[in-house]
Amino acid sequence: MLRFENVGLRYGLGAEIIRDATFNIAPQSFQFLTGPSGAGKTSLLRLMLLSLKPSRGQITIFDQDAANLDNTKLTNVRRRIGVVFQDFRLLDHLTTYENVALPLLVQGRAASAYRDEVIELLKWVGLGERIDALPAVLSGGEKQRAAIARALVGRPELLLADEPTGNVDPEMAWRLLRLFVELHKSGTAVVIATHDLTLIDEFRAVRKLIITDGHVLVRSEDRE
């Protein structure tokens, strides 16, 4: 589904922050991406999302070389990926409902076809009473859940989440992770970036991508 081969990334003329990254994200897999703060987790996720171009190496996504994707193909690839940003990236002038429905709206689907589905999802993440609220009046946790709902609503084949439980209490964190697991069971490959090792241990992840000194190490633990 997603393959990195000897991928390196540097910003400008600086040192490489990701070096020789070689790994594979298989369909329907579940993995945590971890490492200390500032190790490059977000940069690696942005490479996976194709919002950054690697300085070297090759990224293959959905059997296509990322370097050869034109705008139309890139758009089609992104429609197959759900993403949760660390800073949520909700559009401030849209309501919670509109933000969550955005991936469906941009695909040109009729609002009547997805309205109930979006409202149902919002209720599931505990935002049933905040449907018409603008992001400015949402708490950090509510924004987080709205961002997660937006990533899930299009039933993506690959979900990339950057610190998705960073702003919620442990109970909600566990609930959200269960949501990711459910999504994984329904066929979505999930990559969750977090520096919370306790959470990873509690969750009994089977695969970890660990970034240290710019290198990506893959650890698989058969504990599920």
Partner 1 sequence: MTLHVMRVRSRSTSLIPHDSVAGRSLTVVIAILTFLACLAAGGAVLLGEASAAWRSDVSKEVTVQIKPTSGEDADADVEKVLNAARASPLVLAVRALGRDETERSLAPWLGSGLDLSELPIPRLVVVTLAGHDSDQIAELRARVLESAPNVVFDDHAIWLTHLSTVGRSLTLFVFLLFALVVAAIAIAVGVATRAAIADAREIVEVLHFVGASDEFITSHFQQSFFRISAEGASIGGGAAMLLFVLGQFLFSRGGPEDAEAMTVLLGAFHLPLHGYIAIVAVCVLLVAMTAVFSRLIAAANLRRIY
Tell me: does residue 218 bind partner 1 (CB under 8 A): no
Q: Which is nearer to partner 1, 1 or 119 (CB)?
A: 119
Binding to partner 1 in span 109-138, by CB under 8 A: 111, 115-116, 119, 131-132
> What is the 8-class DSSP label of residue 85?
-
Single out the residue of 214, 216, 217 nearest to residue 9, CA to CA: 214
Q: Which helix (H) or strand (E) holds 126?
A: none
Percent composition of the chain: helix, strand, coil (DSSP 3-state, to 5): 35, 25, 40
Least Å distance between CB 158 and partner 1?
12
Tell me: does residue 220 bind partner 1 (CB under 8 A): no
Distance between CA atoms of residues 136 and 11, nearest Å: 32
Q: Which residue has the tokens 């935002």?
A: 127
* Terminal alpha carbon distance of the chain: 22
Binding to partner 1 in span 141-170, by CB under 8 A: 150, 154
Tell me: does residue 51 bind partner 1 (CB under 8 A): yes
Tell me: does residue 52 bind partner 1 (CB under 8 A): no
Binding site for partner 1 (CB under 8 A): 49, 51, 71-72, 74-76, 78-79, 83, 89, 91, 93-95, 97-98, 102-103, 105-108, 111, 115-116, 119, 131-132, 150, 154
